Chain A
Amino acid sequence: MKKEKYLAAIIDSKGVQRTLKRLASEILEESDGADNLVFIGLHTRGFPLAKRIIDCVKEEEHVDVPLGSLDVTLYRDDFGRRAESLQMQVTDVPVDIDGKTVILVDDVLYTGRTIRAALDALIDMGRPAKIRLVVMIDRGHRELPIKADFIGKYLPTSLGEEVSVKLKNIDGEDGVFLVTATEEGE
């Protein structure tokens, strides 16, 4: 497990709920309703986050929106640069994404490399009409020309810091925290 040293609370639990609601509204406004949407959450925290945004969409529009999960391990560009291959998580995209508006969801946008891998993985699965990116936190330090379409909060960080997004449906509490990464044993 990764040890984290707590620095500051960025968003509290009420704030997280408000942010999710706003993101859902913005997505619905831009897409003119939920008809053609497919949400795809990235592992590990994008998937539960996508679930929460869908809950807000449901509240507003009273419709069910399809949700998939995507693991991008096999598309990463750092294969062989680690001491061991990463174990994969579940990929399950239950609907055909051809012609759909795919809402790609991740918790923190950082270098942009995960998103690059996710775009390649999605395009191998079909030809979506549009792909939009939603993130809870954009912490800067991009290494690729990638930007998010819907952002919970823009949070400039230093390289030694990390952002930890906690979600009720997997962590038992909502909140966004700034932490420093110390010893990593993942």
Chain B
Amino acid sequence: MNEHLLGLEYCSKEEIESMLKAGFSFKEVLSRPIPKVPTLRGKTVVNLFFENSTRTRISFELAQKRLSADTVNFSASGSSVSKGESLRDTIRNIEAMKIDMVVVRHQSPGVPYFLTQCTDSIIINAGDGLHEHPTQGLLDIMTLQEKLGTVKDLKVVIVGDILHSRVARSNIYGLQKLGAKVALCGPPTLIPVQAEQWGVEIFYNIEDAIRWGEVLNVLRLQLERQHSGLFPTRREYAHRFGVTLEKLRQVDKEITIMHPGPINRGLELEHDLADSEFSVILDQVTNGVALRMAVLYLKSGVSTTEQAISQKK
């Protein structure tokens, strides 16, 4: 098993399966009267967030606390980064305070990899630019396995702003490795040119995508990244690509709706649909904590020292 978790592109099928399996075990732990285990006692984890995040940071922090790890939170605003400190210096200084693991989110792709080159700590990617968000990909797959049993041969459509989405990339790599069929759907301007090389179907029409798929993973339209006129108006986007109950009723089958959050209600996803029986959005959030516990547990137990390997039983 890899020591770090940088992206699902670099994980084997077996590794992904073992993280998912452990995720379900931790879900049981979270249902106990005391939803906490002593496994990571004495380990220190730093949450290094250079970009805003509520869900992911709270989810990681809860996962760490429920494993009894000590956690430190770092956010870029109001830190020495605003005084001009380099990333390398920041991480070297934090590491000098004796830590074991770093969970990092950054606006630039490749930052987690860069950190593996300048520290000895275990690095977990919590989202790097447009690259990957592996724990989100894993918790999406876990939620699908929980609801539908398996993702093998499952038809999953990722809808919306694929261009700016690290969630889409992690989902594609993870789902394809487990044998699911993946399609993308969105306006041509929001589908990256290289998508054709990913081995996915591409739909430019949401009705076609709904007819094809069994699951719609609806992405957030990243309004903060939409200043270059990639689509005319929000209203037109909602009309053409927004997922609504009415559009789902056109087909006679059960469709599962996912969303990585936060939702722009009424834009990419109809208000009522987000709370309907089609939606597993809150299950995704619940599973997120269990899945992140699994990742922290499995990664922090990977030891590359000779002593540990010789003691392997």
Contacts and interface: CB of A to CB of B under 8 A. Distances in A.
B18 interface: yes
A75 interface: yes
Closest 3 CB pairs between A and B? A85-B301, A88-B25, A74-B37
Nearest to A124: B34
8 contacts: A74-B29, A75-B38, A75-B39, A79-B301, A81-B311, A82-B301, A84-B312, A126-B33
Question: Which secondary structure dominates where chain A touches chain B?
Answer: loop
Question: Which secondary structure dominates where chain B touches chain A?
Answer: loop
B230 interface: no
B53 interface: no
Contacts of B94: none
A61 B178 CA distance: 49
A120 interface: yes
Contacts of B37: 74-75, 124
Contacts of B302: 83-85
Interface string B247-274: 0000000000000000000000000000
How many interface residues does chain B have, given as a range? 20 to 34
Given A88-B22, A124-B34, A83 B28 contact: no
A151 to B, nearest CB: 25
Nearest to B305: A83
A125 interface: yes
Nearest to B40: A79
Interface string B298-313: 1011110000110111
B34 A80 contact: no
Given A74-B39, A75-B37, A92-B28, A85 B308 contact: no
Given A75-B38, A88-B22, 4 more contacts: A82-B301, A83-B308, A86-B301, A89-B25
B1 interface: yes
A79 B301 CA distance: 7
